[in-house]
Amino acid sequence: MRLISPVVSVLTILHFAYVNGKISEHFESVATSSQLNVFDEDGTCPPCFNCMLPIFKCKQFSECNSYTGRCECLDGFGGDDCSLPLCGALPDGNDNRPTRDNDTEKCECKSGWGGINCNICQEDSVCDAFMPEGLQGTCYKNGMIINKFHQGCDVTNKKILQILNGKKPQVTFSCNRTAEVCDFQFWIDEVESFYCGLSDCNFEYDLQKNASHYTCDKVQCECVPDRMLCGQKGSIDISDFLTETIKGPGDFSCDLQSRKCKFSEPSMNDLILTVFGDPYITLKCEAGECIHYSQIPGYETPSKGKLTNIQILLLTITSAAVVGLSGVAIFFVSKSPFFSGGGIVALDDEDFDDFDFLKSTWKTVLTFENINYKISGSGRSTRQVLTNISGSVKSGEIMAIMGGSGAGKTTLLDILAMKGKAGRVSGSIRVNGVEITKQNYSRIIGFVDQEDFLLPTLTVYETVLNSALLRLPRNISFAAKQKRVFQVLDELRILNIKDHVIGNDFERGISGGEKRRVSIACELVTSPSILFLDEPTSGLDSNNANNVIECLVRLANHYNRTLVLSIHQPRSNIFKSFDKLVLLSDGEMVYSGEALKVSEFLRNSGYACPSDYNIADYLIDITFEPKKYQTRVSGSTNDLEANLLPSIDDHDSHNVHVVDPNRDSVATVTQNEWEHYAVHRDEFRTLLNAEESQERGYGSASSKVLHSLFRDSPYFSELLQDIEYVKSSEHQGSFITKSSSAASFIQQLFILSSRTFKNIYRNPKLLLGNYILTVMLGLFLGMLYYDVQNDISGFQNRLGLFFFILTYFGFLTFTGLSSFSLERLIFVKERSNNYYSPMAYYISKILSDVIPLRVVPPILLALVVYPTVGLNMEENAFFKFVAILILFNLGISLEILTVGIIFEDLNNSIVISVLILLASLLFSGLFINTRDITNVAFKYLKNLSIFYYAYESLIINEVKSLILKEKKYGLNIEIPGATILSTFGFIVQNFVFDIKMLMVFIFVFLSLGYLALKVIVVEQK
């Protein structure tokens, strides 16, 4: 605190007057001050106050405004000439503050304010008015000047107090550090006696000693007329002394802890020492200045703390936990059958009965009658795909379904296997003369698709073992199941390649024929009574095709199996292996019966296959007719034949379809017609190019003719007799036995998870690439945002960091689209063949695919980014950060996976996923302040954005407990994180709500994904 030279001068004069016994005489000689005349002597009004005129002067050394002629008063003074003390409160402004009560000469200060003229703050809350909007002020009372402060001091020299005889001497003054000036007033019993102005001031303080030291080079003082010491009656007048003697410099120092101060001035020190015996004037002062707390001397903005030993330990433990859990998972997975050796095991005696499982004692006869199939066309129209197809095949026989492309072979095979069809199926399918349910039927059949849908990373042994473990009864021991696998592999001549991986277009594996036999092995290991195969030789060379058929022949002949297969155009030796034949053309049954009798049927109908001509090729030649080359059937079959009758003169001399000269005339003519047509079918197609029609009156000429001929032949009657015999057999349904349950749900889950882990183990590119990319990205982000600061720019950096991390994990989930797209066909095939339930597959997909790719990477990223960037570690923020990222990653991955399940086409699913992510990003809270959205159509879209909840929770977790510093308004402002969060539209109280919403997203898309998988991803042919 400061005391100035005028104080010393006044007290010295008082003592001098008292010593000489002249004080009382002086006060008595002072007349009562006269009242001012309202008018001049001439009766005119005096001039208005204008400080620019020489007759007017601004008191308190206030400045005169040369533009207005008004005095710019110091704080706490008012009136035209700034001579009136004001009350109220400092922030009200001089123009709004009341003056003193003239009767009491006392001030009534507002709450929180004190001092003679209410300029000294008492409470922090009253300083808010001096702060920028949104900031809180602090009443700093320690006495060190910051910008502009106000002080009040009591004089403590004992001899001076004795001289005034109970009247209390006080001093008020204010200082402006920027202007380097101070203003001083001396009061006796709170009535101002004189005032001074000090300039060229220097302000110093010592924080260690808690002391202040102020010096002012220049001092000027003036009395308040007619006041004590300044001309009041009974008082001395020291006006001249003040103006003439007091020049400065003044030196003022204080002990801020005890608030004791002292003043010294070179010209007055000797006089004070001589008169009072004190080396200087002593005071006890009180100060008050409204500032922001960051301006308090010695205040240091809380620096961003470094990682403590405990926090480092937590990060280390987390890293060790990730490694440990990964090791435990690998250990348990290694116990899976997929990771066990593939050596042949010896069976115990109790398993001996299972050794010859391929030798079936069941006699199964498959019969089907009047199979029709219609599909919906445009509008309400329908198209007949199959028409009244019948047939019969016994145990130990192979039935071949033949016909040209589009004849309906695969459709008939699917219907016989009771596969799901999009159209309407009618007719009857019986086993041993009994119509059975689809569930019971599925237990005794196997189905091999035309395409080989196999996991490319598994070996031949593992692929077949997978089928055995999932589909064989659970009461069969693992060793027995292994034995079955080896026996099937040996029977199909692929035991020597059991350890070879399947392979694909990018990784070389086994050949196409070997893949086909592996597909057959997957079905055969379950020992089906009836095995359906869709074009098992398609895409194979003649050697591989022959190997496959040889295996099938052995299965039928040696193990009493019933085989039904579709085949396009087999070699002649393969055709001779077939026991039964169903020949189709344009959905019509051209022939159904014993394969060896088809030549006899054709010959009796007027057609003979040359000896050097493949019978299979001949059958296709006489039945194949593309739909776009159809001719109108105007009448009977004979009419149709007449329409196609070529001229005898045009007969090709090179016709390979030789006509038998010994046939009767009708047969000769008929065969001649068709032999000629078979050779010249291309010319006929051109000549018969007519518009298509959906009416049954239009059709393939050859199909109609041959179908009619077969219906009228004894071969068809023989077929019907065979079917009726089976239906009336005494042993109907004898094959049906009580089947043991296959793998339980838990076993399915374990096997499928193990298979997926095996796939990851063999092809680790996706998993390791994900991990390595995440770690590298973490290092990059750590260097880019290294040691982010707790200021506004640091807040902006945090916003960008979190948004980028969420975006990275969001788009990284697209790998789930491609992986499921590759597995989709395998899932459909295995589901249709009753490998497992959709729930088991879905959960295994989550456990073994989603979790490794969506849980571990956020942990790895957090372990790298958190310490390098220096994010908030308070209140378990690290673990909350990891939890939020995991919940978000699981939610967004399940959302994208659901899209991939719903949309079969990969390109469509990618486009839809991109649109969903972009929409979620738009309403995440970074690109637009969600509080500013007033349009009803868009206002609530943020509620559908998983990015919004994750982004808001990450920001809240990081910033809510931080104090962000910023230089503004000349102040080192510290802004609570919660305040700036609300500015960006985030609600601090929503942290728990955001976590719950992330869980809701996970639950919703987990459920939707399963429902889509169960309902949409089904085999529909």
CA distances from 298 to 41, 211, 289, 427, 774 (A): 63, 13, 16, 97, 44
- What is the percent of the chain where pLDDT is above 70? 81
Say if residues 827 and 1014 touch (Cβ distance below 8 Å): no
Query: 963-968 and 971-976 as β-strands: parallel, antiparallel, unpaired?
Result: antiparallel
Query: 71-72 and 63-64 as β-strands: parallel, antiparallel, unpaired?
Result: antiparallel
The residue count of the chain comes to: 1021
Angle at the Cα of 228 (from 224 to 232), degrees rounded to 5? 85
Interhelix angle for 946-959 vs 877-902, to 10°?
170
Tell me the average pLDDT across 249-269.
82
Say if residues 155 and 171 touch (Cβ distance below 8 Å): yes
What are the b/e assignments for 18-44, b being 16+ CB within 10 Å?
beeeebeeeeeebeeeeeeeeeeeeee
Q: If phi over 0 gives left and psi between -120 and 50 gives alpha, with beta otherwise, what is residue 118?
A: left
d(CA 74, CA 68): 17
Residue 812: both structure tokens together:
């990284």
Residue 395 pLDDT greater than 80, yes or no: yes
Say if residues 301 and 965 touch (Cβ distance below 8 Å): yes
351-379 pLDDT, tens digit per residue, is: 434 445 666 667 889 999 999 999 887 76
Say if residues 545 and 574 touch (Cβ distance below 8 Å): yes
Q: Which of 93, 127, 88 is nearest to 110 (CA)?
A: 88
Q: Which CATH number fits domain 366-430+438-727: 3.40.50.300, 2.70.50.30, 2.60.130.10, 3.30.43.10?
A: 3.40.50.300
Longest CA pairwise span in the chain (Å):
176
Ramachandran angles phi, psi of 865, nearest 5°: -75, -40
Residue 972's contacts (CB-CB under 8 Å, 6 or more residues apart) are 292, 294, 295, 301, 965, 966
669-693 pLDDT, tens digit per residue, is: 445 555 555 554 554 454 444 434 3
459-485 pLDDT, tens digit per residue, is: 999 999 999 999 888 888 888 888 889
d(CA 153, CA 287): 9
Give residue 954's pLDDT: 92
* Cβ count near 474 (within 10 Å): 11
Cα of 119 vs its chain's centroid, Å = 57
What DSSP state is assigned to residue 659?
P
Residue 373 forms beta bridges with which residues? 386, 425
Residue 401 pLDDT greater than 90, yes or no: yes
* Cβ count near 918 (within 10 Å): 10
Burial class (CB in 10 A: 0-12, 13-18, 19+), 869: buried
Say if residues 959 and 810 touch (Cβ distance below 8 Å): no
Say if residues 76 and 89 touch (Cβ distance below 8 Å): no
Residue 282's contacts (CB-CB under 8 Å, 6 or more residues apart) are 155, 156, 157, 260, 261, 262
Q: Which residue has the higher pLDDT, 526 or 45?
A: 526
Instruction: Grade residue 801 by pLDDT with cuts at 50, 70 and 90.
Output: very high
What are the b/e assignments for 484-514, b being 16+ CB within 10 Å?
bbbbbbebbbbbebbebbbbeeeeebbbebb
Burial class (CB in 10 A: 0-12, 13-18, 19+), 936: exposed
CA distances from 946 to 125, 427, 893, 958, 1007 (A): 42, 52, 11, 19, 16
Residue 823's contacts (CB-CB under 8 Å, 6 or more residues apart) are none
Q: Reduce the DSSP state of residue 530 to 3 states and report it.
A: strand
Rg of the Cα atoms in the chain: 53
**DSSP conformation letters of 749-777:** HHHHHHHHHHHHHH-THHHHHHHHHHHHH
CA distances from 132 to 127, 291, 323, 792, 971 (A): 11, 11, 52, 17, 10
Q: Which of 979, 824, 784 is nearest to 904 (CA)?
A: 824
Burial class (CB in 10 A: 0-12, 13-18, 19+), 950: buried
Instruction: Grade residue 275 by pLDDT with cuts at 50, 70 and 90.
Output: low
Instruction: Grade residue 946 by pLDDT with cuts at 50, 70 and 90.
Output: very high
d(CA 1013, CA 1021): 17
* Cβ count near 531 (within 10 Å): 26
Residue 43 pLDDT greater than 50, yes or no: yes
Say if residues 354 and 377 touch (Cβ distance below 8 Å): no
- Please enumerate, as own/partner, the contacts of 21-27 that have beta carbons within 8 Å and a separation of 24 or more: 23/234, 23/235, 23/236, 24/234, 26/234, 26/235, 26/236, 27/232, 27/233, 27/234, 27/235
Residue 114 pLDDT greater than 80, yes or no: yes
d(CA 47, CA 69): 13
Q: Which residue has the higher pLDDT, 373 or 633?
A: 373
The four Cα atoms 682, 684, 687, 689 give a dihedral, to 10 degrees, of -80
Residue 625: both structure tokens together:
């007719």
Residue 101's contacts (CB-CB under 8 Å, 6 or more residues apart) are 108
Residue 943 pLDDT greater than 60, yes or no: yes
d(CA 962, CA 500): 59
Instruction: Grade residue 402 by pLDDT with cuts at 50, 70 and 90.
Output: very high
Q: Reduce the DSSP state of residue 46 to 3 states and report it.
A: coil
Ramachandran angles phi, psi of 187, nearest 5°: -125, 145
d(CA 622, CA 749): 52
d(CA 686, CA 683): 5
Give residue 433's pLDDT: 87
Ramachandran angles phi, psi of 970, nearest 5°: 75, 10
403-442 pLDDT, tens digit per residue, is: 888 888 999 999 999 988 888 999 999 998 888 888 888 8
Residue 393 forms beta bridges with which residues? 366
198-222 pLDDT, tens digit per residue, is: 899 999 888 888 888 889 998 888 8
**Signed CA dihedral, 889, 457, 553, 607: sign only:** positive
Residue 290 forms beta bridges with which residues? 139
**DSSP conformation letters of 87-139:** -B-GGG-GGGS-B--TTT----BPTTEESTTS-EE-SSGGGGGGSPTT---EE
Q: Which residue has the higher pLDDT, 16 or 69?
A: 69
Tell me the average pLDDT across 824-841.
90
Give residue 651's pLDDT: 39
Highest mean pLDDT among 288-292, 621-625, 970-974: 288-292
For the chain, the structural domain boundaries read 5-32+50-295, 366-430+438-727, 763-1015
Q: Which residue has the higher pLDDT, 646 or 967?
A: 967
Give residue 888's pLDDT: 95
480-509 pLDDT, tens digit per residue, is: 888 889 988 988 889 999 989 998 878 888
Of the listed ranges 737-751, 799-813, 966-980, the one predicted with least confidence:
966-980
What are the b/e assignments for 647-665, b being 16+ CB within 10 Å?
eeeebeeeeebebeeebee
Say if residues 596 and 436 touch (Cβ distance below 8 Å): no
Q: What is the mean pLDDT of the chain?
A: 80
d(CA 652, CA 669): 15
Of the listed ranges 47-51, 531-535, 887-891, the one predicted with least confidence:
47-51
Tell me the average pLDDT across 347-351.
45
Give residue 545's pLDDT: 85
Give residue 383's pLDDT: 87
CA distances from 449 to 386, 498, 516, 814, 833 (A): 20, 21, 9, 29, 10
Residue 251 pLDDT greater than 70, yes or no: yes
947-984 pLDDT, tens digit per residue, is: 999 999 999 998 887 777 776 666 566 677 777 887 77
Q: Is the pTM of this model over 0.85?
A: no
Query: 366-376 and 424-431 as β-strands: parallel, antiparallel, unpaired?
Result: antiparallel
Residue 448, H or E segment: strand 445-448
Q: If phi over 0 gives left and psi between -120 and 50 gives alpha, with beta otherwise, what is residue 221?
A: beta
